[in-house]
Amino acid sequence: MATQQLTLPGLAGYLTPNALEDTATSSPVLTITTTNPTVLRRERTYRKALRQRVSDNVLQFIEEYADLDTAWDMMLLETGTPINPMNINPWFADYEAGTGCVVNLMRINDMRYINKVFESVNHILRNNGYFIGCVQTASQRKKQFLERIPKPVKTLVYSFDYLVNRVWPKMPQLKKLYFRLTKGKNRVISEMETYGRLMSCGYKIVDTIQDNGLLYFAALKTGEPSFNMHASYGPLIALNRLGKNGKAIKVYKFRTMYPFSEYLQKFIYEAYGLQAGGKFKSDPRINTVGKFLRKYWLDEIPMLINLLRGDIKLIGVRPVSSHYLSLYPEDAREFRKHFKPGYIPPFYADLPKTFDEIVASEVKYLKAYERHPVLTDLKILIQSLYNIIIKRARSN
């Protein structure tokens, strides 16, 4: 166990440092014992403020990641502006080393610039520091509405709320008016969008708890934010996919997932794995409308733009993300890169069930395409149409 001499301005003579080696980061975690009345008052203030704002369950959850007995190494906020975390520094903390924990009790539903707040917190946290916050998820909001509103009008009122606070702020041409009128308050945000935003800003989700109609999350700083300046919220999205020779292309589709879902691909794969057909099993990123669109391939209609531009051809392997391609065996991965992806994949001709069968189906098609490109694509097209029209094959 390593020890470290600690020097903090203004606390000389009051501190007994005991540095514990963090095996994950090789950086010391400091446990401080102090009799300084100023610091003790700060610690008591934190506890008192939290008890007034959250339940005992949430307080216990916060204390798992925030040491309220070390007031110098944490920050307690209730703010929706990215400026406040930058201007407030914990007492006696080493600003260059970073803060150990930031707790923000404002719902992210009421923040005008959610990612900017997440980014500013990331900036002041040290590596492997914790960010604790809360959100009212879309499902929690729906449950609250349906419990409070009388039966005759509950569907009408909830539908109106969904259109105003969920759909309106996502419309490219109308969202400016929405934010001008509402200042970004009381937005509808899904659980998956929350996680995606956090991961896009350099965090890893480590724990959550639901209490009093809110979802509290604990997120670990694992890196720097991506600073995505082209985040998409509207019905038409451009996905990052790999084309021929590994070239990055934008594939157009109708949105079937919650915003920022692209940042959750690895997280979802590790949590749920793959189902029959090679898609993510019970993928919680897919919204209600998206399930219908995917079932009948309606989400893929905008890919005709890619077909006309020459990014893809009519028949070919699916254009996939870099993460999904990384799941392939190395030889199949390298072989696949030599070919242009397609609009109609060989999947619908062979109807493979497992991921290994999908890889084998694609390799078989590509080898046949190398020898007889026109005949191979014609055969795949006829077999795919037969399975879709006669056998009524559907997308998973």
Contact criterion met (CB below 8 Å) for 117 and 82: yes
* Alpha carbon 276 to chain centroid, angstroms: 24
Q: Tell me the domain boundaries of the chain.
A: 15-137+189-221, 139-180, 236-389
Supply the DSSP string of 214-274, one letter for each residue. Answer: EEEEEEEE-S-----TT---SSEEEEEEE-GGG-EEEEEEE--B-TTGGGGHHHHHHHH-B
Contact criterion met (CB below 8 Å) for 189 and 108: yes
- Tens of pLDDT, residue by residue, the chain (396 residues): 333 333 333 333 323 333 333 334 433 344 444 455 555 555 567 888 888 899 999 999 999 998 887 667 888 888 888 877 766 655 545 556 788 899 999 999 999 999 999 999 999 999 999 999 999 999 999 998 888 888 888 888 888 888 888 888 878 778 888 888 888 899 999 999 999 999 999 999 999 999 999 999 999 999 999 887 777 777 888 999 999 999 999 999 999 999 898 888 888 887 777 666 566 767 889 998 898 998 888 999 999 999 999 999 999 999 999 989 999 999 999 999 999 999 999 999 999 988 999 999 999 999 999 999 999 999 999 999 999 888 877 665
**CATH code for the structural domain at 15-137+189-221:** 3.40.50
Cβ neighbours of 162 (radius 10 Å): 16
d(Cα 291, Cα 368) in Å, to the nearest integer? Answer: 33
What residues contact residue 227 under an 8 Å CB cut-off, 6+ apart? Answer: 119
d(Cα 157, Cα 149) in Å, to the nearest integer? Answer: 8
d(Cα 274, Cα 270) in Å, to the nearest integer? Answer: 9
pTM for this prediction: 0.77
Of 350, 369, 370, 373, nearest to 360 (Cα)?
350
CB hemisphere CA count around 77 (13 angstroms): 28
Please state, in angstroms and as integers, the Cα–Cα distance from residue 99 to each residue in 123, 130, 322, following that order: 9, 9, 34
d(Cα 332, Cα 352) in Å, to the nearest integer? Answer: 16
CA angle 292, 188, 253 (to 5 degrees): 35
Contact criterion met (CB below 8 Å) for 200 and 179: no
